[in-house]
């Protein structure tokens, strides 16, 4: 696929997203907003998993940090959404920098276990510090007040207004992560995934790069968290639980780990399929498990990877 | 105060023994197959539900459930190893972990489909009901029985691995797979065997938990697998001795934590896990 097709496709997607914002009913808008938030989470996460080859079970903690950061700001300091998001993302980035500092000393299974341990420590704090986080009740009553930018005020209260608000952040995230993929930093990450010893020998500080990507992906998790707090108008402690960390993993895997758009496609499939399955059966997790098995055993490229592989094979002769 | 301490200790030890039954299988499977199995907690859950189902079908005999339930689970374990896990040994770690995670989702929902989503009660055990007086307070006999079972299983495992021919083969394959293959060990069969045995151990834990927990829920697998992860990390991945001591530590830590500082209980346990991983990733009790 050449460059023009890519731009064409991206413009088409953007057009479709804008179109959805104008014509859809509240339910579709809600789903589409959730898909975009999950996409931000998974795109950031896949920088770590797909690009650098590190499996983290602690990213729910950063998601929750973003959500609680926004919620606490909005309840105690100011309900300005941008300030809340700023604080949420900053808190998530800072926390992932601190946790990452320790985690990047290990790789493979030890890295996964360490992120699990730290993530669950954050969960334990959120669960137990009732006076700040509301304990198992979580925090609620987060209002979507208008964004005041000096003289103009942009309302985000309505579903479609908020949809465009999230769309803005989604586009910014896609742009930033795309830039990271093609930057020297992003290329080094892929090099580390392929052979970290060789990367070390070429004089690169592998740990510093790992810490860098860990923090970046933590910040995007925080952004997704604060947006979801605005969407749902509440935050719950289980958003920090390790089982929630599995969500971006599933999404990236369904879409395709080694592709840029994989997490976005995976998010669409994940949210849409879950809605459909829940109509027919209570046991939607069973079908996700089966889907996951099929992808791991048969289609490790994920949906995007498998389709582009088929496309390449078809167009070659 | 003293009697309270004694009882907190006893509660911690008996809770630790359940974790030990899961962690022993987990660490054995990791030591030989090099796969960290998320679904090991599901075997615990399946063991409990199947024990309960057998017990219901066979007129309420708990011991029959304890015998048959785990056997069925080890067959489930065989199918999982032979037809799924074997396909991913050559893949990178994320795929292996995620495959076992997918199995957690599948097992959870299968159990919900078969036995319903709510929790189901469990009966008393004939012969081990009632309680005895220890340090001036009542303590259930069944919990004492559990405290005895744990070390017995540990002794049995030690004997099996260190003193028998089979144990030598298992240890040899764990330390060098290629060498074991080249001297004619049927490694694939051995892998199946070890995985079945690990699943059986975990399911025995689950079956024994039926009278202990009082209520069966699908969440019991996830709850115990995380404790077992902590335990095998503290003890050193692949070390059985470490897993036994780690189980005691985690059991005691959580019972003392719940009793004296309920706010910090979970935080401390995971903090300990992180600290061990950082300073002694080979585990506290691993040799060398």
Question: For position A177, what pLDDT does the model report?
Answer: 92
Percentage above 90 pLDDT, chain A: 29
Among A132, A254, A289, the strongest candidate for a mutation testing the B interface, having the largest count of B CBs within 10 A, is A289
All structural domains of chain A with their residue ranges: 29-242
* Cross-chain residue pair A292–B105, CB shorter than 8 Å: yes
CA dihedral (A236, A238, A241, A243) positive or negative: negative
Among A45, A54, A109, A129, the strongest candidate for a mutation testing the B interface, having the largest count of B CBs within 10 A, is A109
Residue A140 has pLDDT above 50, yes or no: yes
Instruction: Compare CB distances from A117 to B93, B117, B273 and report the shortest one's residue.
Output: B273
Task: Tell me the pLDDT band of A89, cut-offs 50, 70 and 90.
Answer: very high
Residues in chain B: 288
Q: Residue A273 contacts by C-beta under 8 Å, 6 or more apart in sequence?
A: A284, A287, A288, A291
Q: What is the C-alpha to C-alpha distance for residues A242 and A119, in angstroms, rounded to an integer?
A: 7
Distances (CA, A) of B242 to A97, B20, B163, B166, B167: 32, 10, 19, 21, 18
A residues 271..310 contacting B (CB < 8 A): 282-286, 288-290, 292-293, 296-297, 300
Q: What is the C-alpha to C-alpha distance for residues B229 and B128, in angstroms, rounded to an integer?
A: 30
Instruction: Compare CB distances from B266 to A105, A127, A285 and report the shortest one's residue.
Output: A127
Distances (CA, A) of A273 to A165, A280, A288, B197: 25, 11, 9, 37
Looking at the domain assignment, is residue B17 inside a domain? yes
* Cross-chain residue pair B102–A293, CB shorter than 8 Å: yes
The answer to which of A25-34, A290-299, B58-67 has the lowest mean pLDDT is B58-67
Looking at the domain assignment, is residue B177 inside a domain? yes
* Cross-chain residue pair B222–A293, CB shorter than 8 Å: no
Among A257, A296, A298, A301, the strongest candidate for a mutation testing the B interface, having the largest count of B CBs within 10 A, is A296
Question: For position B204, what pLDDT does the model report?
Answer: 93
* Cross-chain residue pair B94–A49, CB shorter than 8 Å: yes
Distance of CA A193 to the CA centre of its chain: 20
- Token representation of residue B97: 């972990």
Q: With beta carbons less than 8 A apart as the criterion, state whether B250 and B38 touch.
A: no
Q: With beta carbons less than 8 A apart as the criterion, state whether A63 and A42 touch.
A: no
Q: With beta carbons less than 8 A apart as the criterion, state whether B247 and B85 touch.
A: no
Query: How confident is chain B (288 residues) per 10-residue block, as mean pLDDT?
Result: 78 89 91 88 91 80 83 93 87 85 90 77 68 76 85 90 87 84 85 92 89 80 88 84 89 84 81 85 66
Of A11, A100, A105, A119, residue with least CA distance to A57: A119
Q: What is the C-alpha to C-alpha distance for residues B176 and B180, in angstroms, rounded to an integer?
A: 6
Collect all residues of chain A within an 8 Å Cβ-Cβ radius of residue B230.
117
For residues A71-92, give the mean pLDDT: 89
Question: For position B178, what pLDDT does the model report?
Answer: 82
Distance of CA B111 to the CA centre of its chain: 19
Q: What is the pTM of this model?
A: 0.87
Q: With beta carbons less than 8 A apart as the criterion, state whether B137 and B1 touch.
A: no
Report phi then psi at B131, rounded to 5: -145, 160
Task: Tell me the pLDDT band of A85, cut-offs 50, 70 and 90.
Answer: very high
Question: For position B124, what pLDDT does the model report?
Answer: 63
Query: What count of other Cβ atoms lies within 10 Å of the Cβ of residue B3?
Result: 11
* Cross-chain residue pair A116–B229, CB shorter than 8 Å: yes
Collect all residues of chain A within an 8 Å Cβ-Cβ radius of residue B264.
128
Report phi then psi at A63, rounded to 5: -55, -50
The answer to which of A170-179, A265-274, B125-134 has the lowest mean pLDDT is B125-134
Looking at the domain assignment, is residue B275 inside a domain? no
Question: For position B63, what pLDDT does the model report?
Answer: 84
Residues in chain A: 317
Distance of CA B163 to the CA centre of its chain: 23
More confidently predicted of A80 and B23: B23
* Cross-chain residue pair B266–A128, CB shorter than 8 Å: yes
If you ran DSSP here, which 8-state letter would residue B71 be given? H
Q: Which residues are registered as beta bridge partners of A228?
A: none
- Token representation of residue B191: 């892998």
* B215-216 and B137-140 strand pairing: unpaired
Q: What is the C-alpha to C-alpha distance for residues A43 and A247, in angstroms, rounded to an integer?
A: 12
- Residue A23 Cα, gap to closest chain B Cα (Å): 36
Task: Tell me the pLDDT band of A220, cut-offs 50, 70 and 90.
Answer: very high
Looking at the domain assignment, is residue B288 inside a domain? no
* Cross-chain residue pair A292–B98, CB shorter than 8 Å: yes
Distances (CA, A) of B13 to B156, B237, B254: 19, 21, 10
Of B252, B153, B241, B270, residue with least CA distance to B202: B153
ipTM here = 0.83
Question: For position A95, what pLDDT does the model report?
Answer: 95
Question: For position A18, what pLDDT does the model report?
Answer: 83
Query: Which three-class secondary structure state does DSSP give residue B217?
Result: coil
- Residue A204 Cα, gap to closest chain B Cα (Å): 23
Looking at the domain assignment, is residue B37 inside a domain? yes
Q: With beta carbons less than 8 A apart as the criterion, state whether A207 and A54 touch.
A: no
Question: For position A1, what pLDDT does the model report?
Answer: 53
Q: What's the number of domains chain B is made of?
A: 1
């Amino acid at each position: 696929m050449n460059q023009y097709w890519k731009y064409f496709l991206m413009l088409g997607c953007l057009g479709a997203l804008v179109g959805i914002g104008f014509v859809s009913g509240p339910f579709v808008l809600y789903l589409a907003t959730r898909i975009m938030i999950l996409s931000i989470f998974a795109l950031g996460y896949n920088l770590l998993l797909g690009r650098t080859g590190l499996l983290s079970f602690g990213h729910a903690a950063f998601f929750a940090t973003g959500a609680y950061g926004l919620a606490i700001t909005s309840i105690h300091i100011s309900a300005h959404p941008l300030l809340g998001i700023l604080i949420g993302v900053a808190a998530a980035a800072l926390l992932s920098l601190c946790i990452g500092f320790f985690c990047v000393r290990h790789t493979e299974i030890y890295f996964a276990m360490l992120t699990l341990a730290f993530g669950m420590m954050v969960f334990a704090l959120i669960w137990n510090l009732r006076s700040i986080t509301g304990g198992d009740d979580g925090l609620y009553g987060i209002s979507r007040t208008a964004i005041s930018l000096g003289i103009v005020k942009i309302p985000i209260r309505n579903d479609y207004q908020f949809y465009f608000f999230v769309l803005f952040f989604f586009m910014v995230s896609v742009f930033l992560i795309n830039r990271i993929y093609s930057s020297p930093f992003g290329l080094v990450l892929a090099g580390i995934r392929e052979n970290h010893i060789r990367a070390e020998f070429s004089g690169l500080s592998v740990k510093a790069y790992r810490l860098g990507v860990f923090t970046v992906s933590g910040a995007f998790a925080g952004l997704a968290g604060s947006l979801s707090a605005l969407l749902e108008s509440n935050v719950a402690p289980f958003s920090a639980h390790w089982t929630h960390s599995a969500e971006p993993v599933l999404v990236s895997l369904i879409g395709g780990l080694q592709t840029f758009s994989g997490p976005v496609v995976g998010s669409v499939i994940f949210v849409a399929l879950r809605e459909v399955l829940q109509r027919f059966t209570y046991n939607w997790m069973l079908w996700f498990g089966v889907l996951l098995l099929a992808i791991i055993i048969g289609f490790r490229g994920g949906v995007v990877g498998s389709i582009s592989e088929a496309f390449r094979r078809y167009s070659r002769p | 105060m003293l009697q309270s301490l004694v009882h907190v200790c006893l509660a911690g030890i008996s809770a630790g023994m359940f974790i030990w039954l899961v962690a022993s299988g987990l660490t054995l499977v990791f030591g030989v197959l090099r796969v960290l199995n998320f679904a090991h907690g599901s075997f615990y859950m399946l063991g409990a539900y199947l024990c309960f189902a057998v017990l219901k079908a066979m007129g309420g005999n708990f011991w029959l459930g304890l015998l048959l339930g785990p056997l069925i689970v080890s067959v489930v374990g065989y199918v999982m190893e032979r037809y799924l896990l074997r396909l991913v040994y050559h893949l990178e770690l994320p795929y292996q972990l995620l495959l076992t995670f997918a199995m957690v989702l599948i097992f959870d929902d299968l159990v919900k489909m078969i036995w319903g989503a709510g929790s189901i009660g469990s009966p008393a055990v004939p012969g081990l009901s009632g309680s005895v007086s220890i340090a001036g307070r009542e303590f259930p006999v069944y919990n004492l029985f559990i405290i005895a079972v744990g070390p017995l299983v540990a002794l049995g495992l030690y004997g099996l691995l260190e003193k028998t021919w089979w144990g030598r083969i298992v240890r040899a394959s764990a330390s060098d797979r290629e060498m074991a293959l080249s001297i004619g060990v049927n490694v694939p069969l051995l892998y199946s065997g070890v995985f079945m045995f690990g699943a059986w151990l975990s399911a025995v834990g689950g079956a024994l938990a039926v009278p202990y927990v009082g209520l069966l829920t699908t969440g019991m697998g996830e709850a115990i697998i995380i404790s077992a992860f902590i335990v095998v990390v503290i003890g050193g991945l692949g070390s059985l001795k470490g897993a036994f001591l780690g189980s005691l530590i985690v059991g005691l830590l959580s019972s003392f934590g719940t009793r004296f500082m309920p706010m910090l209980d979970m935080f401390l346990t995971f903090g300990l896990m992180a600290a061990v991983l950082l300073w002694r990733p080979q585990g506290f009790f691993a040799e060398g």
